[in-house]
A = this chain, B = another copy of it.
Amino acid sequence: MSRKLLEQNGICPVATTIDLLSSKWKVLIVRDLLTGTKRYSELKQSVAGISQKMLTQSLREMESDGLVTRHAYAVIPPKVEYRLSDLGNSMRPVIETMANWGSVYLDQNPDKRKKLAQSE
C-alpha cells in the first residue's frame, strides 16, 4: 500500500521521496541524526512524542531502506547507536529546505507560533 502511490504515479521523483520519508517520524529522525550519531534513548528523547514502538519500527524500516545504519555494542547495559548512511545524509538538503521554509513561516506568523507553543 505504501507502494501504491508510486505504481499509480509512475515514477515521480517527488512521490519517490515521500515514499521513503513516509511518516513524519522518519523526517524527524533524519533531522536529529543529521547532527551525528545518536543512541536509541537519545532519539527517544529528541524526537519528542514518539513511542518506542514507532521509533523502533521507523528505524527498522529506514535501515532496510538504507537510510540508517545500526551499531549494537555487546555491553551491559546494551548500547545501540544509529547514524545516517550516505544515502540518509544525502537527504540533508531536503530537511534543510523544510527547516528554512518552516522558519520563515513561523517568523511571518508569530500568532501561530504562540498558539502552537502553548498546548492547543
A residues near B (Cβ < 8 Å) are 3-18, 20, 22, 24, 27-28, 31, 47-49, 87, 90-91, 93-95, 97-106, 113, 116-117, 119-120
CA gap between A104 and B87 in the complex, in Å:
10
CB distance B49 to A11 under 8 Å?
no
CB distance B9 to A49 under 8 Å?
yes
CA gap between A99 and B120 in the complex, in Å:
33
Q: 5 shortest A-B CB distances, which residue pairs?
A: A13-B102, A8-B49, A16-B102, A17-B102, A17-B98
Pick the contact of A106 from B4, B13, B18, B47 — CB < 8 Å? B13
Q: List 29 A-B contacts (CB under 8 A).
A: A3-B120, A4-B49, A5-B49, A7-B116, A9-B47, A9-B48, A9-B49, A11-B116, A12-B102, A13-B98, A13-B101, A13-B103, A13-B105, A14-B28, A14-B31, A14-B95, A14-B98, A15-B24, A15-B102, A16-B102, A16-B116, A17-B99, A17-B101, A18-B24, A18-B27, A18-B98, A20-B105, A87-B105, A93-B97
